[in-house]
């Protein structure tokens, strides 16, 4: 019998809100700021938001996958703690996101190096990982 992973409510809200911000930024906010000749800081932020959100999505998705794997292989991985899963998710997401920003690969599409994008990615990675470490990821036993 497989257990369903019950995400904490804030994880669902964080994921949904991040997706909404991504869409609004891409379709409305960015073009509005450009048309209205906004200050450079606002343009930097709006161009870096996708990197921040990519990092948030990466940590959430990887944490969910790793918790699922722990459940699936409970007899061998059941003792793996949530903190270890969180650190592993952070490491995997960091490797992917940072190497993409530094142009080691181009798996995410045409990527232009921008130090602000790298900063946004690191902020997203660390903030999401710390939040999950502090508040947990799932509602049930998986949150030990």
CB 35 within 8 A of CB 52: no
The residue with tokens 């798996």 is 107
Say how far apart CA 24 and CA 141 lie, in whole Å. Answer: 36
pLDDT of res. 144: 45
pLDDT in tens, 39-95: 999 999 999 999 999 999 999 999 999 999 999 999 999 899 999 999 999 999 999
pTM for this entry: 0.89
């Amino acid at each position: 019998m497989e257990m369903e992973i019950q995400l904490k409510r804030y994880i669902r809200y964080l994921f949904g809100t991040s997706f909404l911000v991504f869409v609004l930024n891409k379709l409305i906010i960015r073009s509005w700021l450009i048309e209205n000749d906004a200050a450079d800081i606002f343009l930097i932020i709006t161009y870096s938001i996708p990197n921040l959100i990519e990092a948030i999505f990466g940590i959430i998705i990887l944490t969910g996958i790793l918790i699922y794997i722990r459940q699936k292989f409970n007899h061998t991985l059941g003792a793996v703690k949530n903190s270890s899963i969180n650190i592993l998710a952070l490491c995997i997401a960091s490797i992917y996101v940072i190497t993409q920003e530094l142009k080691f690969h181009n798996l995410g599409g045409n990527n232009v190096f921008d130090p602000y994008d790298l900063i946004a990615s690191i902020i997203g990675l660390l903030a999401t990982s710390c939040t999950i470490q502090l508040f947990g990821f799932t509602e049930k036993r998986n949150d030990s």
